C-alpha cells in the first residue's frame, strides 16, 4: 500500500561523479518496500512540481530507512542532491511491482545491471539465498561493486572504455565467460535489456527486466509510461509505474 511521508534525510554522499547516495527515514514506506520497487520524490521548490521516480537500492526494516542511489540528470535530481542530513522531503511509495525473489538455496541467480540500473539490483542480491553472480556494466570506473561482493555475489565488471574489467557490454561478457543461471534479474538501458532478453531466450533462462520509462504521476493515472507487451497472443499496453517496472522479458515487445 502506497503512503506519502515527509521523510528525513539520514545521510547523503556522492559515490561517483554525479551519482548521489542518500538514505531516508520513512517507516511506513520501508515496512511495505520490496526489492525492485521505487519511490517518488517531490521537489520542494514551487517550480518543478512533478515527482521524480527513484529506484530503491536498499531496505532496512529495523531502522525504517530506504537507500536511494541516483544520477543527477536534471533539475529535480539536482535539487535532491543538494539536500543535507536532517532535511526532509516528501516521498510517495513504495511504487510498482518488484522482483519475485526465488527461495531456492540450490538455485543460481544472475544479476545484470547497466549504469544507474545497477542500484536496484543490490537489495535483490542481498535477499537471494543461493549462488549469485553479478555482471555490472559501466561507461567507465565503477560503483557499488564491492557491496555486491559483500552480499555474496561473484562480480564481473564491464566498461565501455576498458578502464576496468572486461571491455565491452554485459552480453559480450556473458558469452565470453559462458555464464549460466536459473533466473536473471536485470535493470539498465533498454538496448541492454533487449539484447540480454534475446540471450536469455536463446539459453532458455527466465529473465526479469526492470524497465526504465519516463513517468509523471507514478501511480498509473496519467498513462504516460505505457509499454507494449504480449498477452494471450495479443499486444496490450501496460503501465510501467503500476504494472511494472519489473516484467518477464518474454512479454515485452522490444
Query: pLDDT per residue over 95-131, tens digit each?
Result: 999 999 998 989 999 999 999 999 999 999 999 999 9
123: which 3 cell numbers? 537489495
CB atoms within 10 A of CB 70: 22
Domains assigned to the chain: 3-95 (2.40.30.10), 108-213 (3.40.50.80)
Query: pLDDT per residue over 178-232, tens digit each?
Result: 999 999 999 999 999 999 999 999 999 999 999 987 776 667 777 779 999 999 8
Q: Is 36 in contact with 69 (CB distance < 8 Å)? A: no
Query: pLDDT per residue over 20-71, tens digit each?
Result: 999 999 999 999 999 999 999 998 866 666 899 999 999 999 999 999 999 9
E runs forming strands in the chain: 3-16, 19-25, 38-42, 52-60, 65-71, 88-95, 108-114, 131-138, 153-159, 166-167, 183-187, 206-210, 226-231, 234-239, 246-248
pTM of the model: 0.95
CB atoms within 10 A of CB 77: 17
Amino acid at each position: 500500500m502506497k503512503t506519502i511521508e515527509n521523510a528525513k534525510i539520514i545521510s547523503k554522499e556522492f559515490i561517483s561523479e554525479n551519482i548521489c547516495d542518500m538514505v531516508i527515514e520513512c517507516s511506513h514506506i520501508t515496512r511495505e518496500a520490496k526489492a525492485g520497487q521505487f519511490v517518488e520524490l517531490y521537489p520542494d521548490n514551487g517550480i518543478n512540481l512533478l515527482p521524480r521516480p527513484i529506484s530503491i537500492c536498499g531496505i532496512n526494516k529495523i531502522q525504517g530507512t530506504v537507500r536511494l542511489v541516483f544520477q543527477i540528470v536534471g533539475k529535480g535530481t539536482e535539487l535532491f542532491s543538494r539536500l543535507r542530513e536532517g532535511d526532509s522531503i516528501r516521498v510517495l511509495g513504495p511504487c510498482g511491482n518488484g522482483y519475485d525473489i526465488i527461495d531456492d538455496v540450490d538455485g543460481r541467480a544472475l544479476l545484470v545491471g547497466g549504469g544507474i540500473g545497477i542500484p536496484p539490483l543490490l537489495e535483490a542480491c542481498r535477499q537471494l539465498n543461493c549462488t549469485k553472480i553479478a555482471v555490472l556494466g559501466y561507461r567507465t570506473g565503477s560503483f557499488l561493486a564491492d557491496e555486491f561482493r559483500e552480499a555474496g555475489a561473484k562480480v564481473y565488471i564491464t566498461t565501455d572504455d576498458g578502464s576496468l574489467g572486461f571491455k565491452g557490454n554485459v552480453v559480450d561478457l556473458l558469452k565470453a565467460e559462458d555464464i549460466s543461471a536459473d533466473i536473471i534479474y536485470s535493470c539498465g538501458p533498454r538496448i541492454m535489456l533487449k539484447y540480454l532478453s534475446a540471450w536469455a531466450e536463446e539459453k532458455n533462462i527466465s529473465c526479469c527486466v526492470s524497465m526504465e520509462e519516463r513517468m509523471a504521476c507514478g501511480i498509473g493515472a496519467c498513462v504516460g509510461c505505457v509499454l507494449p507487451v504480449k498477452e494471450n497472443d495479443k499486444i496490450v499496453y501496460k503501465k510501467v509505474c503500476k504494472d511494472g517496472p519489473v516484467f518477464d522479458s518474454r512479454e515485452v515487445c522490444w
